[in-house]
Structure 1
Amino acid sequence: MTQIEITPAELPYHELIGLLVKVDSSCDPTINGLSGLVVDETRNTLEIETDFQSDLTSVTELRTSSEPIDTAHSRVVIVPKAGTVFVFTIPERISQTGRNISVKIDGNITLSQPQNRIKNLKKSRK
């Protein structure tokens, strides 16, 4: 099976579920610095699963291992895309460089249904 590679320029068009993310800045100061794994996405929000015992690196280790998630120390936080700047981590296995890449994205440019953003990526590649 061919592995899909993601470039930083194309990231806003791709599926965001499954990527590690950190809230860089937001209109809501209570979510600044929040980090975790994107577990769902709607037109206007991202659902981020956080792990209170770990930082972003440990979340990567948690997700790549086969151990179950410790739900006693994690929760899902719904974060609005509008007015929020996110830093996504493209994992080395799907980045063109073969290493983790951090990409800062203004949430306002991802304000659309995920399936529509993916269609726009196909159009831009033609």
Structure 2
Amino acid sequence: MITPQNVFRHELIGLTVEITDSSHKPFVGMKGTVIDETRNTITVETNDTEKMIPKDNVIFLFTLPDGSQVSIDGKVIVARPEDRIKKKFKKIR
């Protein structure tokens, strides 16, 4: 089960995401579903378009399957998904 404490160790594809802050202001407020993830980007499907968002300078607000939300600085998740899942993170309280 995905929780705010272990979201880093799970697949992000399929989660609903909103961009809450970015150095590229047109990304702020964008909402959609994560459809792909690479080392440096997350691809978000919004309405009928797909947008590739760089992870490095963005704050993401993910909505988990249970309805809870977690804010993640993109710098923390810059890694290939398969490497990020294996990576050890400090516990969030």
Query: So what's the TM-score if we normalise by structure 2?
Result: 0.91
- Sequence identity percentage: 40
Partner of 1:12: 8
Q: List 4+ stretches of structure 1 deviating above 6 A.
A: none
Indicate if the aligned counterparts of 2:17 and 2:32 stay in contact, CA closer than 8 A: yes
Residue by residue over 1:80-115, the C-alpha shift from the partner in whole angstroms, topping out at 9 and shown as x without a partner, is 0001000000012xxxxxxx1010000000000000
Q: 1:34 aligns with which of 30, 48, 54?
A: 30
Alignment of 1:106 with 2:68, yes or no, is no
Partner of 2:50: 76
Structure 1 residue runs of 5 or longer lacking an equivalent are 52-73, 93-99
Q: What is the count of residue pairs matched by the alignment?
A: 89
CA distance in 1, matches of 2:4, 2:55: 18
Q: Look up the equivalent residue of 1:87 and give its one-letter code.
A: L
Q: CA deviation at 1:76?
A: 0.3
Query: Which structure has the larger Rg?
Result: 1
CA distance in 1, matches of 2:8, 2:22: 18
Partner of 1:115: 82
Query: So what's the TM-score if we normalise by structure 1?
Result: 0.68
Q: Look up the equivalent residue of 1:88 and give its one-letter code.
A: F
Partner of 1:43: 39
Indicate if the aligned counterparts of 1:86 and 1:107 stay in contact, CA closer than 8 A: yes
CA distance in 1, matches of 2:51, 2:2: 25
Structure 2 residue runs of 5 or longer lacking an equivalent are none
Indicate if the aligned counterparts of 1:19 and 1:89 stay in contact, CA closer than 8 A: yes
CA distance in 2, matches of 1:27, 1:12: 22
Higher helix fraction (1 or 2): 1
